[in-house]
Amino acid sequence: MTPDFEAQLRAVSLRVTRPRLAVLAALRDHPHVDTETVISLVRADLPAVSHQAVYDVLRALTNAGLVRRIEPAGATARYETRVGDNHHHVVCRSCGAIADVDCVVGHSPCLTASNDHGFAVDEAEVVFWGTCPDCAAEHTAHEPPVGRK
């Protein structure tokens, strides 16, 4: 299923431009990549596009809600086109790999804070940290299986 990026842009009153379409396509095919990766992916299609243009596109798409920006503690910001479902992420402590994790408790989890201090809460961010399968395999290949902290 190919999302209709042109319709998505029009729906949020953004002009349809080739860099915007290229960024959306890059993020659809490569979720959770950082800005530098987006730039190189977009340049495969549009060699002349500048760093600044890609930054601007990412900011516009994020502000419009077409792209979700995730920023795990200590990692560079990543972007994805899977928005609006409040899914979570699992992040590898070793290599920074990120994967999607569907809601654990159903729709809009954790939005009912035990004490919201009067805030109107609209988002709850849950990040699972661990070791990805690749890093775990590398670990066992190169090191004796000693206990980790």
Which stretches of the chain bind Zn ion, using CB under 5 A? 80, 92, 94-95, 97, 100, 132, 135
Toward Zn ion, which CB reaches closer, 33 or 39?
Answer: 33
Distance of closest approach, residue 89 Cβ to Zn ion, in angstroms: 6
CB of residue 50 vs Zn ion: minimum separation in angstroms? 27
Considering the complex, state which of residue 28 and residue 43 has its C-beta at the smaller distance from Zn ion. Answer: 28
Q: Hey, what amino acid is at 53?
A: A
Tokens of 110: 């954790």
- Give the chain's largest Cα–Cα span: 56
For the record, the structure tokens of 93 come out as: 């402590």
| Eight-state DSSP code of residue 47 | T
For residue 29, the minimal CB distance to Zn ion (Å) is 14
Q: What does each C-alpha distance from 97 to 55, 81, 94, 129, 135 come to in angstroms? A: 22, 17, 8, 10, 10
